[in-house]
A = this chain, B = another copy of it.
Amino acid sequence: MVSARASGLPRWVLVPAAAGALFIVLPLVALASRVQWGSFWSLITSDSSREALLLSLRTSAAATVLCVLLGVPMALVLARTSFRGQGLLRSLVLLPLVLPPVVGGIALLYTFGRKGLLGETIDVLGLQIAFSTTAVVIAQTFVSLPFLVVSLEGTLRTAGQRYETVAATLGARPTTVLRRVTLPLVLPGLAAGAVLSFARALGEFGATITFAGSLEGVTRTLPLEIYLQRESNPDAAVALSLVLVVVAVLVIGLVRGTRGVSA
């Protein structure tokens, strides 16, 4: 019944860990050092930048919610059941990761586009997906979903199902077990997965431009804006990237702070 932080890690682990941290942080520093701070403020507060940022935050949040709604059940099914073809399904779920995002966008066009697989169904429903903000959310969800599923499945397997069994013997129905035992126990893993998904959605570019297009205020998210700026004004692009980075740090920090991931 005793747990303690007394055991500790081997010291040498710090060396590769620091190397890894430097490997990620140095490029960010290099990026920051190239920003022309004089014009930074005016640049990032321009209408188009602000609108792109807000759009990015809205769509990424929506995509993360969708990822959680679809991804948690998928991870549960992969971790807690076994059926023929499960291995194949697990690999398929990973594919949006592998697919270059632009090709992912093409695939989405072929599916939800006007002449796509579901095009007619969608037309009948009177929905207009292409070139809309909905399309951005779909593209972001498509590329982010695997993150949540894969990382949550790993956590579920590591957590095991002993407590779920106990809950069942206490008369809890499967839904109750899920809500009151399984999910609270894997919360750190779920939070990690959601953060991954959110981050991936925030940075999404290729699938969005291919599937949703790029129109200010409707589909032009911050990464798209950064791309455009880069054509005419590389400095602005770098500055905007930093904004993206800072926003991401803030949002992630906020989520972590309120949900208490750091157990």
Contacts and interface: CB of A to CB of B under 8 A. Distances in A.
Interface of A: 2-17, 19-21, 23-31, 33-34, 69-74, 76-77, 80-82, 86-104, 106-108, 110-111, 116-118, 141-142, 145-147, 149-151, 153-155, 157-162, 164-165, 167-168, 173-175, 177-178, 185-186, 188-189, 191-193, 195-196, 199-200, 202-203, 205-206, 223, 226-227, 230, 234, 237-238, 241, 244-245, 248-249, 252-253, 256-257, 261-263
B27 A108 contact: yes
Nearest to A160: B3
**Is the contact region of chain A dominated by helix, strand, or loop, or is it mixed?**
helix
B262 A98 contact: no
Given A10-B174, A162-B3, A203 B98 contact: yes
Given A23-B70, A249-B92, A10 B173 contact: yes
Contact of A192 (B33, B153, B244): B153
A231 to B, nearest CB: 11
Contacts of A237: 103, 106
A93 B158 contact: no
3 smallest beta-carbon distances between A and B, as pairs: A20-B70, A154-B192, A27-B107
B200 A69 contact: no
A205 B100 contact: yes
B151 A99 contact: no
Contacts of A29: 117
B252 A91 contact: yes
A158 B161 contact: no
A28 B107 contact: yes
Given A7-B164, A30-B116, A262-B87, A92 B2 contact: no
Contacts of A205: 100-102, 206
A199 B94 contact: yes
